[in-house]
Amino acid sequence: MKTRFIFYLLSLCCLFLIGTANAYSRVDVGVTLYGNDIPFKRPNGTAQEHRSIPIAIPISAFTSENHSIELDFFEPVGEVEIIISHEGTIVYSSSMNVEAPTLKSILLSSELSGSFVIEIKGTNGAYAYGNFSL
Digit-coded pLDDT (tens) for 88-119: 999 999 999 999 999 999 999 989 889 999 99
Digit-coded pLDDT (tens) for 4-36: 655 555 554 545 444 444 444 445 678 889 988
Tell me the pTM. Answer: 0.71
Query: Looking at domain 27-44+53-133, which of 3.50.50.60, 1.10.3720.10, 2.60.40.3080, 1.10.10.10 is its CATH number?
Result: 2.60.40.3080
Mean pLDDT of the chain: 79
Query: Following DSSP, what letter does each residue of 3-38 receive, concatenated?
Result: HHHHHHHHHHHHHHHHHHHHHT----EEE--EE-SS
- Given a contact cutoff of 8 angstroms between Cβ atoms, the answer to whether 72 and 58 are in contact is no
CA distances from 12 to 5, 6, 30 (A): 11, 10, 35
Q: What are the extents of the domains in the chain?
A: 27-44+53-133
C-alpha 86/C-alpha 116 separation (Å) is 5
C-alpha 95/C-alpha 82 separation (Å) is 6
C-alpha 61/C-alpha 30 separation (Å) is 6
Tell me the pLDDT band of 37, cut-offs 50, 70 and 90: confident
- 18 vs 53, residue with greater confidence: 53
